[in-house]
Structures are given as C-alpha cells and as structure tokens.
Structure 1
C-alpha cells in the first residue's frame, strides 16, 4: 500500500497510479476473502466466525466497488478515489458481529 499510495499522491491522482492503487486494494480484499473462507473451512460452518460473518455485505461490496473504480480511474480519477474513500468509510464503522456471536456463546 505505501508505494502505490505515495505514487498516487505524487502524481496528483493520475489515472495509472490511481488504477494500480485500486488493483492493490482489490488484491487485499481478495486475500481477506480467502482468509475468511480458509478459517471457515477449518473451523466449520457452525464456528463463531461463520455465524458472525453471515451475509458479509461489506466484504462482498468492497471488491465490487474496487472493480468499478479501476476502469473509472481512466475516466475520472476523482470518482475512483471517491469510491476508495467510500469503502474505507464502510470499514471504519466497527462491525460488532463477531463480538455479538461470542457473547451469545458465553451465555
């Protein structure tokens, strides 16, 4: 992230650095998805993580927004940057699902 973030900033949201930044974010989202699936495969569908994730709308929406932002960077890098900020804001709000599932199991 640091290299592409700096590159994008140094070039004032030029199309190519902005698109590559989106690709890096997309790869991070993909790694997060793979990690979730691997843990659930090991722990089972009844595990705390599997129950807490549920539909995981943020996890599914994030890569879709990144995929949309990558080609949009060549149309308007500001719109692409706005989508990156939107995803960051979505994840800034704490997700209480795992904590809630753990509390249920303790009762």
Structure 2
C-alpha cells in the first residue's frame, strides 16, 4: 500500500487535536490585565502542546516522505501514535489549570512518554517492513535522540513527585531537542 491515505488521515487527526486544544482556551470574563495574566499558565500550556503537536506533525511528515510503502502493522502503529497524541488536549487543559499539582504533571508526562514510545514503534515497524538498503534504516541509526527523549520523560514523571517545575523542565528540554527535524532524512529523499 502507498502512504498517501495514512498521511492524509494523520494530518486530519492532528489538525483536529490542535483545534480541540485551542477551543479549550477561554477568554477571561473581566476586562483587566490581571484577569488576562491569571490565565497565563493555560495559554503557556497551549503554546507548549501546540509546539509538541507541531514537532510530531513535522517528524511524521519527514518519516513518510522517506517511507515507500505501508502494511497493516504500520497502519496500526500509526493509529497507536494518534491515540496517544489525541490525549494531549486533555492533559494540556489539566496541566494548564494545575501546573503546580503532581498528578496533572505526571499525566502530561505519561502522555508525552507514550507518544514517544508509539513513535518509536511506528518507526521500527516502517524500518522492519523495508529492505536492508532502506534509507531510513541508515538515517535513524541507533536513534539516540528518541531513546534520550523516553528517558527524559521518565525522569520528568519521577521528578513530579518531588518538584513539578523540575519535571516540566525535562519536558521542555525534550521539545527543544526535537524542534529542528533531522536533516539527514531531508537529504536522503
């Protein structure tokens, strides 16, 4: 099978996820600067999650620019990724309202962790389905950035028990690591 339907469906789901997140933003009732500043954490959680969804969309796009064909396992692995990404609006709303509380920060980190694991599985299924000369196999190599991301999410979850700001900083570091997509994929297309 070709990749075009998978890509179109994924793009649609990611667009809906972003739409759901922005609909969660509520304007303050009062028309004062202090009421606007009071919703700053909600707005920051939206921006941060928008960046994360953008990172996944960008990397997913690059991944499927190099992918030549898909099978049922790849379709299910992609749905697995989309499932975890679809939970980002819920955890975004929760952490935006309760960024100082342990459980929302753990939930946000857990969703990010499972998104990373799902992406790792999707990538592995794509590589497995193609031959030994498949460019992605060479480009990804040992995927240190992917493995470091999973470790940092786990550390963020663990640190949530001690300090939510330290936990959130781990999530921010991973986002910064992934802001620029891997140029090796662009060069091999």
Aligned to 2:125: 38
SS at match of 2:121: helix
Aligned length: 102
Deviation readout 1:48-94 (Å, 9 max, x if unpaired): 11111112221110000001110101101000000000000000023
Q: Note if contact 1:69-1:79 (Cα within 8 Å) is conserved in structure 2.
A: yes
Say which of 164, 172, 180 aligns to 1:93: 180
Say which of 89, 109, 112 aligns to 1:22: 109
Q: Note if contact 1:18-1:81 (Cα within 8 Å) is conserved in structure 2.
A: yes
Q: Note if contact 2:106-2:157 (Cα within 8 Å) is conserved in structure 1.
A: yes
Q: Note if contact 1:40-1:49 (Cα within 8 Å) is conserved in structure 2.
A: yes
Distance of 1:57 and 1:15 partners within structure 2: 29
Q: Is the counterpart of residue 82 in structure 1 residue 169 in structure 2?
A: yes
Q: Is the counterpart of residue 68 in structure 1 residue 155 in structure 2?
A: yes
Aligned to 1:8: 95
**Higher relative contact order (Cα pairs below 8 Å, separated by 6+ residues):** 1
Q: Is the counterpart of residue 53 in structure 1 residue 140 in structure 2?
A: yes
Distance of 1:95 and 1:39 partners within structure 2: 17
TM-score (norm 2): 0.52
How far has the Cα of 1:45 moved from its partner?
A: 3.1
How far has the Cα of 1:13 moved from its partner?
A: 3.0
Deviates more, 1:4-13 or 1:30-39: 4-13
TM-score (norm 1): 0.90
Distance of 1:90 and 1:27 partners within structure 2: 17
Residues 45/67 of structure 1: CA separation in 2 closer, same or farther (3 Å cut): farther
Q: Note if contact 2:113-2:154 (Cα within 8 Å) is conserved in structure 1.
A: yes
Runs of 4+ in structure 1 displaced over 4 angstroms?
none
